[in-house]
Amino acid sequence: MGQRRTEVLHAAIELLDEVGLDALTMRLLASRLGVRASALYRHYPSKQALLDAMVAHLVGTGELPEAEWDELLRGAASGLRSVMLAHRDGARLIAGFHDPGPDAVAAFERLITALTEAGVPAAAVAVDTVMAYANGFTVEEQARKTRWPREGRDRAFDDGLALIIAGIRASMV
Amino acid sequence: MGQRRTEVLHAAIELLDEVGLDALTMRLLASRLGVRASALYRHYPSKQALLDAMVAHLVGTGELPEAEWDELLRGAASGLRSVMLAHRDGARLIAGFHDPGPDAVAAFERLITALTEAGVPAAAVAVDTVMAYANGFTVEEQARKTRWPREGRDRAFDDGLALIIAGIRASMV
DNA sequence: ACCTGAACACCGTTCAAGT
DNA sequence: ACCTGAACACCGTTCAAGT
């Protein structure tokens, strides 16, 4: 059925890691599949639709583990950063242009509900703030040419995250 | 001297607001100036160089006002957001691809110094966190198709910012 | 169901040459 | 100092036609 569609999607992700977002071309992707560019339009109506599908596939939507509210929040933020860092130009691709898609929205809602039940006031603000931070941090991290070692970047990310979580905790008194 | 260079820069920013980043083409820009695209390469060595110059011009680098540390931080964050929102695709243009440039680095340093003198521990972490938040929030805000009114977006931004500042304050005890 | 061939309307960039 | 003309090596997308 739509199984060639999935092959195209996987080839696109492989090619992204190989050549980067700017060089990810319908024509180049087609040639990797042994096919002409025009053939791709049978599977995706436009390049943008293909990029959207890539984002949806990468982000996925995991289960919410059993954990304290702060661990939940840390997990969501690091999870987003991990998936971005796992692919070349992942931050630009994912943070980029897209209304969030129904799966992402649902995952957000579940997280907000969990925090609310754990007694976090204004849980939506907390989640939005942490996710905006993770997005902003990682976009800049991956855009920067001069890259310091992963260990230090992880620590910087965790330090900022800790600051926000302390702010949420302060609002809970 | 390099005054045609400045005309090109200003025309590019005008054109950005008119047509958006994706339609901002060397050929279209040239035609607005009554000139062929190849003529632009006398003033900027590449399109990327022109985009970098646009970012530098938009971001500028203001004075640091006399204010409490938290007001300083709020001002820096809202200032960044304002300049992004002031131009079509401003967030994507500015947050995008660029090592920060020496002026931006200097402004960062001054802010960190001011916070340190005001008794904020780990002032660098505080500044980085707030700026990553402002970046992430605004990129998402401007990318979203379905736009709610400005007033509500401002409030959401301020709420998140307040959370981070509360976290910094909590670290000061 | 999937693909080709050819075309359309574009890109950024280079370079000799003009004034 | 600034610009033209022409070219090079590309783009995304459409559409009739093939198997």
> In this structure, is residue A50 part of a structural domain?
no
- Which residues in chain A are closer than 8 Å to B153, comparing Cβ atoms? none
> In this structure, is residue A111 part of a structural domain?
yes
How far in angstroms lies nucleotide C19's C1' from the CA of residue B9? 25
Examine the pLDDT at B98 and tell me if it is beyond 80. no
Per-residue pLDDT, averaged over A45-62, amounts to 94
Work out the pLDDT band at A101, boundaries 50, 70, 90: confident
Smallest Cα–Cα separation from B95: which of A95, A99, A87, A149?
Answer: A95
Examine the pLDDT at B2 and tell me if it is beyond 90. no
CA distances from A47 to A37, A50, A75, A124, B38 (A): 11, 5, 32, 33, 29
Query: Which CATH number is B18's domain given?
Result: 1.10.10.60
Phi, psi of B85 (to 5 degrees): -75, -15
pLDDT at residue A103, as a whole number: 85
What is d(CA A57, CA A12) in angstroms, rounded to the nearest whole number?
A: 11
Find the residue in B nearest to A143 (Cα). B97
State the burial class of residue B145 (Cβ atoms within 10 Å of its Cβ: 0-12, 13-18, 19+).
Answer: exposed
Domain hosting residue A100, numbered range: 61-171
- Is residue A80 within 8 A of residue A135, CB to CB? The reply is yes
Show which residues on chain B lie within 8 Å of chain A, measured between beta carbons.
92, 95-99, 122, 125-126, 128-129, 131-137, 139-140, 143-146, 156, 159-160, 162-171
Residue tagged 């736009």 (tokens): B147
**B73 & B29 share domain:** no
pTM of this structure: 0.95
Residue tagged 């933020």 (tokens): A77
**B27 & B72 share domain:** no
DSSP-derived 3-state class of residue A139: helix
What is the tens place of the pLDDT at every residue in B144-169?
888 899 999 999 999 999 999 999 99
**B38 & B77 share domain:** no
- Is residue B105 within 8 A of residue B99, CB to CB? The reply is no
Q: Which nucleotides of D are covered by protein (CB under 7 A)?
A: 1-7, 10-16
Number of helical H runs and strand E runs in chain B: 9, 0
Cα dihedral sign, A15-A18-A21-A24: negative
Examine the pLDDT at A120 and tell me if it is beyond 80. yes
- Which residues in chain A are closer than 8 Å to B126, comparing Cβ atoms? 163
**B31 & B76 share domain:** no
**B38 & B69 share domain:** no
- Which residues in chain B are closer than 8 Å to A167, comparing Cβ atoms? 162-168, 170
> In this structure, is residue A55 part of a structural domain?
no
What is the tens place of the pLDDT at every residue in A130-169?
999 999 999 999 998 888 999 999 999 999 999 999 999 9
How far in angstroms lies nucleotide C12's C1' from the CA of residue B5? 19
**A21 & A74 share domain:** no
* Interacting residues of A61 by C-beta distance below 8 A, sequence separation 6+: A103, A104, A106, A107
Residue A43 has, within 13 A of its CA and on its CB side, a CA count of 26
Give residues lining strand D (CB < 7 Å).
A 23-28, 37-38, 41, 45-48; B 2-4, 30, 33-36, 38-39, 42-43
Number of domains in chain B: 2
> In this structure, is residue B124 part of a structural domain?
yes
Distance from CA of A33 to the nearest CA of B (A): 28
The verdict on a CB contact (< 8 Å) between A169 and B170 is yes
**B111 & B136 share domain:** yes
- B88, B115, B164, best to mutate vs chain A, most A CBs in 10 Å: B164
- DSSP for B104-170, please give it: HHHHHHHHHHHHHHTT-TTHHHHHHHHHHHHHHHHHHHHH-SS---HHHHHHHHHHHHHHHHHHHHH
> In this structure, is residue B142 part of a structural domain?
yes
Nucleotide nearest to B35 (CA to C1'): D3
- Is residue B132 within 8 A of residue A133, CB to CB? The reply is yes
**B155 & B123 share domain:** yes
Query: Which CATH number is A137's domain given?
Result: 1.10.357.10
Per-residue pLDDT, averaged over B104-118, amounts to 95
> In this structure, is residue B32 part of a structural domain?
yes
**B36 & B70 share domain:** no
**A70 & A17 share domain:** no
What is d(CA B147, CA B151) in angstroms, rounded to the nearest whole number?
A: 11
> In this structure, is residue B85 part of a structural domain?
yes
Identity of residue B136: G
Average pLDDT of the residues of chain B:
95
**Encoding tokens for residue B165?**
């500042």
**A23 & A105 share domain:** no
**Encoding tokens for residue A18?**
């190989």
The verdict on a CB contact (< 8 Å) between A144 and B99 is yes
Phi-psi sector, B89: left (phi>0), alpha (psi -120 to 50), beta = left
**B34 & B75 share domain:** no
> In this structure, is residue B51 part of a structural domain?
no
Phi, psi of B112 (to 5 degrees): -60, -45
